Amino acid sequence: MVKLNIVGVGPGSADYVTPIAHKTVSEAQIVIGAKRSLDLFSNDISGETHVLTAKSLNELLTYAVESAKKGKNVAILSTGDPGFSGLLKSVLNTKLVTSAEINIIPGVSAVQACAAKLGLCWDEACLFTFHQGNVNDERKTELAICLKAERNVILLPDTNFFLPKDIANYLINSGIDPNTSVFVCENLTLDNERVVASSLKGILTVDFAALCVMVIKAKCEAV
């Protein structure tokens, strides 16, 4: 049975890479990942490496699966945790392997890092990701519904098509109180980490880094 390793590499800092992630990568004959992910394992990699980009994604995922089917030990590096806005979905969408043929090494998600930074219990929060083109009217409506139900929201914005300021504008237009508390955590665990505490109306004109997590505290008014 094919065993393709998908390795969660954490939110960014080398301090958050798990020992089993290092071990899995060190044993791999082929390692595929974004450059900043590969850099985290510079002392572990001894095999063939390939830099993963949006343009090369499908080609390299196919190569990874085909190599694993030939008996190669392959590791695909996924930022954060593979199962939350990570590469697990992309691999499964290739239809070349099933979840049973994949060995998943979990990692620390930016969502977890964000909740820890803010001292937030997130077991009852609504989680959203708008990464990977996951921006549609249905998901936007679900977001507004969660806030109207007075549930906290933790989300990953799409920094091309649904930025934090776009999200704030959408929610205000959907009847959410403009004074609702918002926290945006940028570049978590990295040297240039920043936490901005504001409100929906307060971030309407603010730009944030691509690596950010947005927390919206439950507070709403009737439409």
The rounded mean pLDDT for the chain is: 93
Amino acid identity at 183: F
Could you tell me which of 67, 33, 58, 29 has the C-alpha nearest to residue 45?
29
Does position 221 have pLDDT exceeding 70, yes or no?
no
- Residue 44 belongs to some domain of the structure: yes
Q: Tens digit of pLDDT for each residue in 5-49?
A: 999 999 999 999 999 999 999 999 999 999 999 999 999 999 999
- The Cβ-side half-sphere exposure at 175, using a 13 Å CA radius, reads 12
Which residues, in sequence order, are CB contacts of 164 under 8 Å at separation 6+? 157, 182, 184, 203, 206, 208, 212, 214
CATH code, domain carrying 85: 3.40.1010.10
- Residues 126, 172, single domain; the answer is yes
Domain around 32: 4-108
The count of structural domains within the chain is 2
Partners of residue 103 on adjacent β-strands:
5
The rounded Cα 146 to chain-centroid distance in angstroms is 20
Q: Which domain-ending residue is among 108, 129, 145?
A: 108
Residues 192 and 212 in one domain: yes
Is residue 146 domain-shared with residue 204, that is, in the same domain?
yes
How do residues 108-129 score in pLDDT, each as one tens digit? 999 999 999 999 999 989 999 9
User: In the chain, what percentage of residues exceed pLDDT 70?
Assistant: 96
Are both 120 and 195 inside the same structural domain? yes
pLDDT of 218 reads 77
